[in-house]
A and B are shown apart, each in its own frame.
Chain A
Amino acid sequence: MSKLKNIRRDPPTKHQEAQLVAWLNEWALYLELYAIDAATREKEGWAGTAPVDVIPAAGQIRLFPPVSTALRSRPVYVAVLQSEHDNCFLVAPYGRFAIPATPGELSTGRECAAVRVLCLWNARALPADVLRSTWLVDDMTSLELSEAIAVHRNLKKGTGLPEGLGLRIGPPLSHPADPRQIYINREDAFWDAVLSETCNLPRGLSLTYLPWLEEPRDRREMRIAAEEGAVYAVAKRFSVDNSDAVIVVSFDDEDRTCRFRVQTAEDEPCAELDACRIETPGGEVCTIEDCRAAMKADHLREGFCITDLAGRTLVLHPLN
Chain B
Amino acid sequence: MAKAQIQNWFEWKRQCALALCSPCTRHVLRQFAHARFRYYVAKYLHRTNLRNPAVISVEDRQAWHLFESHLELKTTRRGKAYKNWLLSRANEDEEGAIQALESGASLIVRDVVREFMRKEISPPRTMSLSRPLNDDFARPMTMADLLPGEIDPTSKVEMREYSELAGGHAGDAFDDMKRREKIAVFCRSMGISLAHHVVAEITGCRKSSLSNSYRDAITRIASHIQHKYVKEDSESVKTLTLMTVQIVKEKVVAWAKLEKSCARLFKVAE
Contact = CB atoms under 8 A, between A and B. Distances in A.
Interface of A: 2-12, 16-17, 20-21, 24-26, 28-37, 39-43, 45-46, 48, 51, 61, 63-67, 72-75, 96, 98, 110, 112-115, 135-138, 171-182, 185-186, 188-190, 192-193, 242, 275, 309-312
A37 B143 CA distance: 29
A63 B85 contact: yes
Contacts of B114: 26, 29-30, 33
Given A36-B40, A113-B115, A176-B245, A9 B148 contact: yes
Contacts of B81: 63, 135-137, 311
A275 B11 CA distance: 13
Nearest to A188: B253
B14 interface: yes
Interface string B252-270: 0100010000000010011
Given A36-B44, A138-B79, A189-B270, A5 B161 contact: yes
Interface centre among A8, A45, A98 (most CB of B within 10 A): A45
A269 B112 CA distance: 45
A20 to B, nearest CB: 6
B88 A311 contact: yes
A112 B14 CA distance: 22
B93 interface: yes
B43 A36 contact: yes
Contact of B126 (A25, A75, A275, A312): A25
Contact of B152 (A10, A185, A275): A10
Closest 10 CB pairs of A and B: A311-B84, A182-B191, A8-B152, A4-B236, A9-B149, A45-B100, A310-B87, A12-B147, A176-B246, A36-B43
Contacts of B100: 43, 45-46
B71 A114 contact: yes
A33 B85 contact: no
Interface of B: 10, 13-14, 39-40, 43-44, 47-48, 70-74, 78-79, 81-85, 87-91, 93-94, 96-97, 99-100, 103-104, 106-108, 110-111, 113-115, 117-118, 123, 125-129, 133-134, 136-137, 141, 143, 145-152, 154-155, 158-159, 161-162, 165, 189-191, 229, 231-233, 235-237, 239-240, 242-243, 245-246, 249, 253, 257, 266, 269-270
Contacts of B158: 5-7
Given A21-B129, A32-B44, A175 B84 contact: no
Given A4-B229, A11-B149, A36-B43, A29 B123 contact: yes
Given A43-B100, A63-B81, A190-B270, A4 B162 contact: yes
Contacts of A180: 146
Contacts of B165: 4
Contacts of B84: 51, 63, 65, 135, 310-311
B214 to A, nearest CB: 12
10 contacts: A4-B240, A26-B118, A65-B88, A112-B73, A138-B78, A171-B147, A177-B134, A188-B253, A189-B270, A311-B81
Contacts of A48: 88, 91
Given A65-B84, A66-B88, A98 B47 contact: no
A4 B232 contact: yes
Contacts of A181: 189, 246, 249
B73 A309 contact: no
B118 A29 contact: yes
Q: Which of B96, B107, B245 has most chain A Cβ within 10 Å?
A: B107
Given A21-B129, A177-B141, A33 B161 contact: no
Contacts of A114: 70-71, 73, 82
Contacts of B147: 12, 16-17, 20, 171-172
B237 A4 contact: yes
Contacts of B148: 9, 12, 172, 174-175
A167 B225 CA distance: 36
B242 A176 contact: yes
